[in-house]
Amino acid sequence: MMVLCVLPIAGAQPREIWGSWSATYGSQHFQGAWTADAKGETDSGWGTWRLLDAAGNTLMGGTWSMRKAADEWRGSWRAEVKGSTAVYMGTWDSSLKKAGNAAFREMLEAAAKEVVSGAWAAPGGRSGAWSIRAAPGK
């Protein structure tokens, strides 16, 4: 399960939205931070993410992207392990079935009203579920 917190930067319609996330895979627990470039795109978006250790040090970082399908959001992710040549990548989709005319920013803001969840997959048959819940902006 992944939990994501959306906290917009002060001001109306900020370009960047950021937050924190946590996830479990089997018995392992992960946490980190992410950003989203919300420059007004309607059917796609992208951002960065970092996997952090308990002290807040970055262990892995990368990018993610998303594109609106007919009735859901789908995307891909990529990460590089700090101090290594290892690269991980995969795909994800959202169970938020309200894509319709919703813009990228609206998809992220929807998580402030309800839990948004989905599935992720990576090469080698690895897969799991994720969920986000955003905090309302201040």
The string of pLDDT tens digits covering residues 28-52 is 778 887 888 867 667 888 889 899 9
d(CA 8, CA 135): 9
Q: With 50 as the cut, is the pLDDT of residue 1 above it? A: no
Q: With 80 as the cut, is the pLDDT of residue 58 above it? A: yes
d(CA 74, CA 95): 9
Q: What does the pLDDT read at residue 56?
A: 92
Q: Distances from the Cα of 44 to the Cαs of 21, 36, 125, in angstroms? A: 21, 11, 26
pLDDT tier for residue 18 given thresholds of 50, 70 and 90: confident
CA 83 to chain centre: 23
Name the residue with higher pLDDT: 33 or 11: 33
> Which letter does DSSP use for residue 124 in this model?
T
Place of tokens 């992944």: 2
pLDDT tier for residue 14 given thresholds of 50, 70 and 90: low
Q: What does the pLDDT read at residue 104?
A: 74
Q: What does the pLDDT read at residue 100?
A: 62
Using an 8 Å Cβ cutoff, are 134 and 109 in contact?
Answer: yes
User: Which of the residue ranges 4-8, 11-15, 54-58 has the most confident prediction, judged by mean pLDDT?
Assistant: 54-58
| Joined tokens for residue 61 | 């970082």
Name the residue with higher pLDDT: 52 or 71: 52
Name the residue with higher pLDDT: 78 or 127: 78
Strand order in the sheet with 116-122: 2-8, 16-25, 28-37, 44-52, 58-68, 73-81, 87-94, 116-122, 126-132
Q: With 70 as the cut, is the pLDDT of residue 112 above it? A: no
* Partner residues linked to 123 by β-bridges: none
